[in-house]
Structure formats: C-alpha cells, structure tokens
Structure 1
Amino acid sequence: MRKIAFTILLILFSKFCATAENQEKLFEQSYALLNTMLVDENSYSFKKAVFSVENAYLEDKLDTLNINKQIKFLTNLSNSLIKDRFLAYLEKDKPTVNKWASVYQIMCDTIPINYNDKIYKYSPFGYDFNDIFGHKTRENLFVSKLLETHKGNCHSMPYLYKILCEELGVEANLALAPNHVYIKHNSIKDGWYNTELTSGIFPIDAWIMASGYVHLDAISNGVYMKALNNRESIALVLIDLADNYNAKFPNNDGNFILKCCETAIKEYPQFASALILKAETRFKQIKKIETETIFNQQFKELEKQYAHIHEIGYRNMPENMYLEWLISLKKERNKYENKKLNTFSKK
C-alpha cells in the first residue's frame, strides 16, 4: 500500500515539475522575443511584446484570436472616425494628429455607431480602482483584461493606446511619473503635450510635479516625464515580464529577473523600476552568502546601487498618496488641464 502511495506521489511530483518547467519555458520564450526586438528593430511590435508577456503568465492560455479580433474592431472604428468627422487642426501633421485623436476618442468618449440603420452606443474604457497595482493578481494590469472588461488602469490603458496607434501606423510615446504611465505627443501646433487616459484629460506638466515625488534631478536625468522611444518601451515590458515571473515563481533564484533587468537597463539606463528590482533581487541573493568577506564586498556594491537610484532623483511614492494625486486631476481639472490644447475639439 505504501509503495502504491509513493508511486502516486512520485507521478504527481513529476507532473508538477514538468508543468513548472513548461511555464518557465514560456517566460524564456517571451524574453527571447523581446530581446530580438532590441537586436533587430525590424521585428519590433509593441503589441506582440505585451501579449507575449501576458501569455507567459497565463500559461499559454491567452486567447490571442479574440484579442486580435477586438483590436481589429477598435482599429476599424478609429479609421471610421478619421473618415467621418472633421478635426479642428490645420497643420501639415494633421493626418498623424487625426489618428491620435481617433484613438483618444475610443479610449475616452462614448461614440454612436450606425449599423443597419440602428444607432448603437460604444462605451469607452474606464478606470478600475480595484487592485490597481496588481497585488492580488497580476491580471489586473493586463491589456487583455482591459479589452475583456473595458476597465483598466495607468498600466493597461496607455499600453492599449500605444498598440492602437501603432496599428494605425503612427507612434505614441509612453512616459513615466511616480507609479504611473501616461502618453506624450509632439505636434507642430502644440509641441509636446500630455495625454492622461485614466481621466481623459490633457494635463500640464505641473500636475506631474504636484505629486510631490518628482525631484528635479529625476526630470533632468530622464527618470520621469521623458517621452520614451520604442526601445525604451520594450524595456518597460521586460520589467513587466520580470515582475510576472516573480509572481509566478516567488522562490526563484533571481537569475531570470537579473537578466531582464540588465537588458532593460542597457536600453534605458535611468529606468528606476529596473534599477530597484535589480537591487532588490541582488539583496535576496546576497543574504544567502555565508562567507563574511564576500558578503561584505557585495553588500558594499549593493549600497552603491541604491545610492545611484537616489542620486538620479527617484523618490518612493506611497500607494495611498498616488491615489490621492490621481484623483486630484479630476477634482482640480481647471487647475491642471492644458487649456491651450484644442487639438481634439470638433466642429
């Protein structure tokens, strides 16, 4: 009887190990895809990058057919808006601005749709205040969850915005603030301006500064408020991959995490989240060192890493203060809204 029980346990353990190995393989495949996009820019696709990371976490169960169907619908809706409405913008970059405007409307506006002589109401995406940092489940940060529920946060909403812009053939620059991702655009008429999708507002830079956690050094060093290029955006997705890996395998040895961090930092040297994750991972590894001399030597190196993070201007923003800051944009809209910007006004 004991022999049978032992055999069953052995089979179950073997299956568990095989499952874990397959899951890790998905993360390695996603890393390889992201790294290839950095090596060969012709292979770049923010959409593929984002969904490869989500698929790895979801154990290869992401419904990519349905996702592509939804993105195609949103892209077609964007094109119909571009075709059917007039945009009060007269500069030569109007075709590009028109596409940005259409994606903005899809993300933030209710849109009437005429189909077979019936008017249907398209509802925009809204902010989900439930588990906005993905502490309970990483899926609350996913674009796939946003597409399914039309509810997202400052991670998934700007990601989807960038994906839709690229589907239309135009660029969209991600930008960072404390605990936050938003969009920056550069038009001939208005120069650089901010697009905040969680509230559907175009805030001035003073709103970012109003958080109280944006040090001037962080701006000058490109930690915050920098318009990220496509390679730097892939760096963000690499850290998403590392965070998902930590959530899936909390007792990992740190090597995969460090590989993601090093690649991300190479592309975006002042990426605070990558620098912090690297330092935290090294700290976990160093704690296991038994030789005192080696421990002290590596701990000194770690102290230098934390000092560098502080020197470039990073300051930790408490989560409750982040929520207050985010809500302040709607409460004090008149104070922080870019009143010059009438790019998306319609006549």
Structure 2
Amino acid sequence: MKKLIILIILGTFFQSKAQSNQFYSDAYQTIDNMLNDKQQYSFKEAVFGVENAYYQGKLDIEGLNRKIGFLTSFCNRLVKNRKLSYSEKDAEKVNKYAAIYTVICQSTPVIFGNDTIKYKPFTYDFEDVFGHKELSNLFVSKLLDTQKGNCNSMPYLYKILAEELGVDANLALAPNHVYIKHNIKSIGWYNTELTSGIFPIDAWLSASGFIHLDAIKNGVFMKALNNKESLALLLVDLANAYNRSFPDNDGSFALKCAERAIQIYPYLPNALLLQAETHTKQFQKLMKEQNTKDIQATLSNPKAKELFDIMNKEYTHIHKIGYRSMPEEMYLDWLVSLKTERSKYEDTRLQK
C-alpha cells in the first residue's frame, strides 16, 4: 500500500513538473508576445526558443548566433561582389534571395588571402527525416552544426537569413513538407525547394496526388504564410517538442498551443491535426483508465462522450477543408522525383 501511495505521489509530481515546465512556458510566452505585438518579431528568436525548450536551456544560442552571423556576412559579400542580370525595381531584394539560395544550396569558391577554397553547401539528410528517432533532427541548430538538414530546418534557416538581411521570406506547406514562396516583380510568385536546390512549378506539388483542390482554395497547402502564421507553425513545433519531452502529459499544453495557432491561422493543418490527435489521446487515456477497449462502453462516461464528439467533429472538419495525409513511405519518392524529373517540374521563368 505504501509503495502504491509513493508511486501515485511521484506520478503526480512528475506530471505537475511537465505541465509547468518553465522553458516551454517561456518559449510559448515569447511567441505569444510576438503575436500580440508586445515583443519585437524575430523568427530566429522564436525558432531557437522552441529548440532551447526541448534542450531544457542547454542550447548554445550564442554559438548559433555566431554561425548565423557568418552566413549573413557571407550573403552580404555575395550581394556586394556579384550582379544579377535582373533590372526590376526589386533587384536589391532579389539579389539577397539569390545570395541565400547560393549559400544554402550551391558550392561557392571563397577567396582567403591567396587561397581559394570551395564552400560546401547544406545537404539533405535522408536519415530520420520525420524526427521519429530524435526530434532534434528537424532543428535548425542541428542543421547549423552538421550542414545536413531537411524540409523543416532548411526553409526555417532560409527565412532566418532573409530576415537577417532585411527582406521577407514566406514559408509554405505541402503534405509533410515546408518550402519557400517568393513574390518578385518580374514573374510574380515562385517556389524555392531547398532540399533539392530547385525552383519547382506548382504542378510538382499537386503531382503528389495528395493536395486536394479544396486544400488549395482554403489555404491549407501552397499558401504563402505571413510572419504571424509562421509563428503559429512554431507553436505546433513547440507542442510536438513538449509531447516528446513529456510523453505522459495530460494534453493541456498541446491544446493551448494548437488553439492559439488556429486563432492566427484557422486552416493551419499542423495545428488542426495536433488538436484532434490530442483529443484522441485524451479519449484513449479514459479508455485505459476504465480498463476497456470497447468504445461504446467508454462512451457511457459523459466526459468521454464529449471528447469523442469533439474529435470526430475535428477530423470531419480537417477532411472537409481538403487535407489529405501523404504516407511517409511515399514522401521521399515524391521529393526525389523533383530531381529525377527536373526538366518536367523546373520553373523555366527563372532561367530567362
């Protein structure tokens, strides 16, 4: 009996510690302050805040800022020392976009004194691309430390560098994927795919077969996210990191993040899924507490019935607005198709 009481006390203590973890609370507050215009917007600060929460304050933010500073200086040097064959009024902005693309995606000769060395670009890391084994494989800090990243960390780094250079950069979503959208005077909107270093047309995105027309109409996928919508995306990242740190939490922090993100971006698929999946976990927990696998038996509990109705309503809404999930095993094939069928999907307007 004493052992049982001790286990209950310890369980309550660790659950309480999870719910009130200061690093996650601080990261949430920082993002929320930016959303409420109570704090100066900084995508970089918000990203590193999420990652630092996961590392429980042990992230070397000063070291990361030095690396960001080096890359920013490198971009500025490229802007200063080369001229694009582009003469529209937004040439300065476009030149900065080109510099960031070069630094992330292309080998570049760099002169140091009398020596010339080849700067090696960032590359796609095909190991654990969804962060199932280790969530930090999705982090910008991991990308900066290893020069290897994925469709999460590479567009985040691009956006950070753009803002360090004083220009905007729009994140955009596809199933399991993040990329960059830009709008320039010569051609309007175009896509930048950093995982393969290519500028694909929208047809490549829809070629996956998992982007429903309703999802495009509703801005679920292929929408250029503004800065606040990008912060909403980071709230989902924060909740996912929290769930990984404290897998037995009660779901309240994840729901807090999801609901705030949905307030900013009602059709953000990551947030809508997080909300529905959290309610599902809460329902499954009630089933476990009742020691049953019978859904109907669980529904006799009014709280369980309420959760069941909520999550069904949420999943119905997600499907109604056009969201379709892409099987993970198909994702890499779809991503690789951009290189293998480059001539079919590359935006030729950028070659003129």
- Please report the TM-score for the alignment, with normalisation by the length of structure 2: 0.90
1:226 alignment counterpart: 223
Is the partner of 1:340 in helix, strand or coil? helix
1:241 alignment counterpart: 238
2:151 alignment counterpart: 154
Deviations 1:85-108 (A, max 9, x none): 110111000011111010000011
Which residue identity does 1:107 align to in structure 2? I
Whether the aligned pair in 2 keeps the contact of 1:54 and 1:62 (CA below 8 Å) is yes
Deviations 1:10-69 (A, max 9, x none): 9xx79x959956982100110000100100165110000000000000111111111011
Residue 325 of structure 1 is aligned with which of 328, 331, 334?
A: 334
| Distance (whole Å) between structure 1 residues aligned to residue 39 and residue 17 of structure 2 | 33
1:255 alignment counterpart: 252
| Distance (whole Å) between structure 2 residues aligned to residue 211 and residue 219 of structure 1 | 14
TM-superposed deviation, 1:316: 1.1
1:59 has 2:56 as partner: yes
Choose between structure 1 and 2 for higher RCO, CA contacts under 8 A separated by at least 6 residues.
Answer: 1
Whether the aligned pair in 1 keeps the contact of 2:18 and 2:249 (CA below 8 Å) is no
Whether the aligned pair in 1 keeps the contact of 2:19 and 2:253 (CA below 8 Å) is no
Whether the aligned pair in 1 keeps the contact of 2:239 and 2:257 (CA below 8 Å) is yes
2:188 alignment counterpart: 191
TM-superposed deviation, 1:296: 2.3
1:75 has 2:72 as partner: yes
TM-superposed deviation, 1:120: 1.8
Structure 1: segments with no counterpart, 5+ residues: 1-5
2:293 alignment counterpart: none
- Please report the TM-score for the alignment, with normalisation by the length of structure 1: 0.92
Q: How does 1:16-165 map to 2 (within 5 A)?
A: 20=17, 24-40=21-37, 43-165=40-162
Deviations 1:118-156 (A, max 9, x none): 112211000000000000000100000000100000000
Is the partner of 2:204 in helix, strand or coil? helix
| Distance (whole Å) between structure 2 residues aligned to residue 243 and residue 115 of structure 1 | 43
Deviations 1:238-285 (A, max 9, x none): 000000001110000000000000011111100111111101111222
1:200 has 2:197 as partner: yes
Whether the aligned pair in 2 keeps the contact of 1:275 and 1:309 (CA below 8 Å) is yes
Is the partner of 2:118 in helix, strand or coil? strand
Q: How many matched pairs?
A: 333
Closer/same/farther in 2, CA of residues 221 and 21 from structure 1, 3 Å limit:
closer
Residue 303 of structure 1 is aligned with which of 312, 319, 322?
A: 312
Whether the aligned pair in 1 keeps the contact of 2:232 and 2:262 (CA below 8 Å) is yes
Whether the aligned pair in 2 keeps the contact of 1:286 and 1:298 (CA below 8 Å) is yes
